[in-house]
Amino acid sequence: MTETTATTELREPPHLSDATPGRAQLGRVGDFLLRSILPLVLAVGTGSIVLVAIGVDPIQYYKDVYSGGVQFAAWQDSLMRVAPLLLIAVGLIVAFRAGIWNLGMDGQFLLAAAVISGIGSRFEEHLPNTINLVVLFLIAGAVAAAWTIVPAVLKARYELNEIITTLMMTFIGINLAQILVKGPFQDPSTTTPQTRALDFSALLPSIPGTESSTRRWPGVHVGVVVALIAAFVVWFLLSRTSLGLRLQVLGASTRSARHMGLDVPRLIIVTFLLSGMFVGFAAATEILGVKGYQRADWDPAFGLSVVPLVFLARLHPIGVIPYVVLLSLASIGGDYAAQNAGLTPKFTLLLVGLTLIYMALTEWIARRAELGGSYFPGASYRRQRASGTG
C-alpha cells in the first residue's frame, strides 16, 4: 500500500472510499435503487407469495397494514414506536461503525426499563415533572451503558469476542429485570408481577398539534423528538468530530488504529458506553412515553429486527430514519392486519428477515458485478485481519 492511498483512506470513511468506483458506474440513483430499495421490494414480493400460499389475500393484508398503521389515530402509535426503534438503531450504528458487535441490546433495554419504571413512581412525588423526566432518562441511559461495561472491558483488555459476552449479558439482564420487577419494584397493590404505574401526568408530554380527535390519547410524546435529535447528534459526532473519525478507523482496522497511536481499549469502552446509553434512552421513551409501568413478562425484543435497517441505511444515523418509520408502520399496522387475517403478528418479522437475506444477495451480486460499495463497512477490515497476524 502506497503513501497516497493510505492518506485518502484516512481522510474518507473507509466504506465510502470503497464505494467510489461503484458510484461512477452505477450513479447515485442506481446505487440507491439497487441497495436500499430492491431488497425491500423483493422481501415484500416473497412475503406476498407466502401469504397466498397460506390462503391470505396479500393486497388486502398490505391495505390492512396501511390502515392499521396510519388511519384512525394509529399514526400516533406508529410515530411513537419510532422513538425506541430509532434510538436503538442509533446505538447500534455507533457500535457497528467501530466494528463492535453489540448484540446485547435486549438485555440493556429491559434492564434500563425495569429500573426507571421501578424508581420512577418513587421519584415523581419528590421532583418537579420536567426534572424528574430528565433524571429518569439519564438513569436509563446510565443503567444500559453500565450493562455494557463487562463486555467492553473484556474486549478491550483480553480481546474477548463481544458477541458471546453481550449475548450472555442479555440473558443475565433480562432475568435481572424480572427479579427487579417481581421483587423490589413490585406494585404492592396487585398480585400481577408488575411495577407501580407512573402517574399519567408524570409521563412524557406530547408534541403540540399531534392530538387526535378520535382518541383520548393525548398525542405523540416528545420522545420522538428526542430520538430525532439523537440521530442528528450522532450524525454530527460520527462525521464531524475527531471521535467519529477515530471510531471509523477502529472499525476499518484495529491495526491501523493502533499504528496511528489511538488508545484502542479506551475507544472500545467509549463506543460500548455510547451504544448502551442510546439503548437505555430507547427504553426510557417506551416506559415514560407509552407504557408507564412494566410487567415482568414484557419483552418487546426490538433489538434484532433493527439490525437490517441499520445496514440498509449503511450505518448512517439520519439515513436510517425512513427505514425506522417504515418498520414502525409495518409493526403497528402488522398487528392489526394479522388480527384481521387470523394470523400471528410474526409476519412482520418474516418480512424483516427476508429483507436482510435479500440484502445479502444484493451484496453478492454487486460484488460479482464489481459495482463497488458495501452494506458492511467492516468487511474490508475482516479480510485484513484474516491475513494478518492479528
Partner 1 sequence: MTSVLAATDVFSEQALTALVAGAILAGVPLMFAALGELVSQRAGVLNIGLEGMMLMGAYAGFVAAYHGGTEWLGYGAGLLAGAGVSLLMVLFCVRWGLDQIVTGIAITLTCEGATGLIFEAEFAESRPTLGAADKVAVPVLSDLPVVGGKGESNGSIFTQPLIVYIGLGLAVVVAWVLRRTHMGLNVRAAGDAPGALDAAGVSVFATRSWAVLFAGAMAGLGGACLAIVSTGLFQDTIVGGRGFIAIVLAMLARGRPLWAILGAMLFGASLSIADWAQVAQINISTDLIFMLPFLLVLVVLVLFGRRAYLPAALALPYERGSR
Find the shortest distance in angstroms from Cβ 28 to partner 1. Answer: 24
- Is residue 94 within the footprint of partner 1 (CB under 8 A)? no
- Is residue 160 within the footprint of partner 1 (CB under 8 A)? yes
- Is residue 259 within the footprint of partner 1 (CB under 8 A)? no
- Whole-number Å distance between alpha carbons of 351 and 242: 38
- What one-letter code names the amino acid at 361? L
The correct pick among 122, 240, 266, 346 for binding partner 1 (CB under 8 A) is: 346
The correct pick among 6, 131, 179, 225 for binding partner 1 (CB under 8 A) is: 179
Question: Taking a C-beta distance cutoff of 8 angstroms, is the pair 109, 261 a contact?
Answer: no
Long-range CB contacts (within 8 A, 24+) of 379-386: 380/14, 380/15, 380/18, 380/252, 380/253, 381/14, 381/99, 381/251, 381/252, 381/253, 381/254, 384/253, 384/255, 385/253, 385/254, 385/255
Alpha helices by DSSP H, listed for 124-210, are 129-146, 149-158, 162-182
- What is the end-to-end Cα distance of the chain in Å, rounded? 18
- Is residue 135 within the footprint of partner 1 (CB under 8 A)? no
Map the footprint of partner 1 across residues 286-305, applying CB under 8 A: 304-305
- Is residue 352 within the footprint of partner 1 (CB under 8 A)? yes
- Which of 310, 322, 330 lies closest to 92, judged by CA? 310
Question: Taking a C-beta distance cutoff of 8 angstroms, is the pair 246, 98 a contact?
Answer: no
- Is residue 164 within the footprint of partner 1 (CB under 8 A)? yes
- Is residue 146 within the footprint of partner 1 (CB under 8 A)? no
- Is residue 150 within the footprint of partner 1 (CB under 8 A)? yes
The correct pick among 54, 134, 233, 369 for binding partner 1 (CB under 8 A) is: 54
Stretch that binds partner 1, among 14-22, 173-181, 223-231, 274-282 (CB under 8 A): 173-181
Question: Taking a C-beta distance cutoff of 8 angstroms, is the pair 207, 221 a contact?
Answer: yes
Binding site for partner 1 (CB under 8 A): 50, 54-56, 101, 150, 153-154, 157-158, 160-161, 163-165, 167-172, 175-176, 178-179, 182-183, 304-305, 307-308, 311, 342-344, 346-354, 356-357, 359-361, 363-364, 367, 375-376, 378-379, 382-383, 385-387
